[in-house]
Amino acid sequence: MRILIVGGGDVAEELIKSVDLRRNEVIVVDSESDRCRELSSKYDINVVNKDATDVSLYTSEVSMTDIDSVISLTDKDETNLFVLSIAKVYNVPIRITRVNDPRVAELVLKLGLGVPIISPSITANMIKNYIDSVRSPKLLTEFEDFKLYLVSISETDKVVNKAIKDVELPPDTRILLIFDGSKLYPPKGEEVLVSGYQLIILSKASEDELSSYLKG
């Protein structure tokens, strides 16, 4: 896959780290020359030092017809709108942008420009989910007899600092995923549950029963 990332900030760098650069070609565009040099020296990617609103970027610098994904991560909503509009003209199939204003996100969806990710809303929702699930499991949804819970681990929980293999759980209960604040991944038996972890748990148990096993 050929991925065009517009805006070479911290979010872009985290994305670059997570991409398999042996199987994907990544092109980063940023207007700051120092940042371009830094990214070029650290990663096996193509870096273009240019303003994202310069039309020549898309007509001569980058072959847009060969791009599979455009991800616009600048700190200006209007620039991100422009980038996604260009990507839509070239029929780039995957178009994603970070936006700050919910109204801009709504506009992106109405115009069919791509997928908007509202940064402040995501951060606020993550904090709210932690608050809601730190005292007791938060029910997310139900599948017949099973329930999907979100549980946040705190310093006073009975399972804190225990390896998953040593944690006693109710019957028909499984920890599906762990979120450590930076990434979501399936757990391993040796994984130690530390304060601040969030768990996605599938169980037939009630909230109170699950809480008694995890929280005490």
The one-digit pLDDT tens for each residue of the chain (216 residues) are 999 999 999 999 999 998 999 999 999 999 999 999 999 999 999 999 999 999 999 999 999 999 999 999 999 999 999 999 999 999 999 999 999 999 999 999 999 999 999 987 777 888 898 999 999 999 999 999 999 999 999 999 999 999 999 999 999 999 999 999 878 899 988 999 999 999 999 999 999 999 999 998
**What domains are there in the chain, each with its CATH number?**
2-120 (3.40.50.720), 127-214 (3.30.70.1450)
Task: Name the residue type at position 3.
Answer: I
Q: Radius of gyration of the chain from Cα atoms?
A: 21
Write down the residue that tokens 């070479």 correspond to.
8
Query: At 119, phi and psi to the nearest 5?
Result: -60, -50
- Of 202, 183, 198, the closest CA to residue 140 belongs to 202
The model scores a pTM over 0.85: no
